[in-house]
Amino acid sequence: MAKIKLGFKALLDKAMTVQAQGNATAIGEDTAANVSVESHTIDRGKVTLTFGKVTATASGTAETGGAYATAQTSATVAGADLGHSLTKTTSGSGSDWASATSVTRFFAIDVKGFEFKNGHIVSTSLPEKTVTTSPQVPAGNTATLGMDATATGDYSVVKAEASVIATDSFSDVAASVVSSADGHSDYHLFG
C-alpha cells in the first residue's frame, strides 16, 4: 500500500492505479496496424489486484521501398506493494517491407496495511529481437483496435482513450487505459 506522510502521525492511503498503453504505426503501399489492450483491476477491500496485456503490431510493404513500421507498449502501476511488467519487442525490415511487434504483460497486488519499505515494482524490457522474414500484409491499409478493460470494486474507475486511422499509405493506432480501485471513499480517484 502506498502511503504519504502528512506530518508526524497522519497517513493518506492512495488507490492503486495502472496505465496500460500501446501504439502501432505502419507506412507503405499496403499497411496494417493493430493495438489490443486488456486491463483488469479488482478491489476486494483488503486486497487490490491488477493484471493485463498490451499488444501492438505494425507491418508495411512498398514495392519501391520506403516501408516503415514501429510498435510500442508499456504498463505502469502506482500504489501497489508488489508488481511486475515485462515487455518483449521484435522488429525487422527489408528492401520492400518492415514489421514491428511489442507485447507487455503486467500484474500488481496491493494489500491494505502492508507495505515494503521501498516498494517493489519491477519493469523489465527484454532485448529486442530481429525479424528476418517479410510479414503477410493484406492489400490495402487497415488499422484495428481491441479493448477489454474492467475495474471492479465500490470505488473503482476505468478511463480509455484511443485513436485509429488508416489512409492510402498509412495506418496508425494508439490506445491508453487507466484504471484505479480502492476500498476507501475518503478521496477522489484521479484527483
Task: Please say if the pLDDT value at position 188 is more than 60.
Answer: no
Task: Please say if the pLDDT value at position 93 is more than 60.
Answer: yes
Residue with cell 521501398: 65
Q: Do the domain assignments include residue 4?
A: no
- Per-residue confidence band for 79, with pLDDT thresholds at 50, 70 and 90: confident
Q: Do the domain assignments include residue 11?
A: no
- pLDDT the model gives residue 25: 98
Q: Do the domain assignments include residue 9?
A: no
- pLDDT the model gives residue 129: 92
Of 65, 64, 67, 60, whose CA–CA distance to 141 is shortest? 60
* pTM for the predicted model, two decimal places: 0.85
Q: Do the domain assignments include residue 1?
A: no
9-36: string of b/e by CB count within 10 Å (b at 16+)? eeeebbbbbbbbbbbbbbbbbbbbbbbb
* Domain, as residue range, for 94: 17-181
- Per-residue confidence band for 4, with pLDDT thresholds at 50, 70 and 90: very low
Q: What is the mean pLDDT of residues 6-31?
A: 76
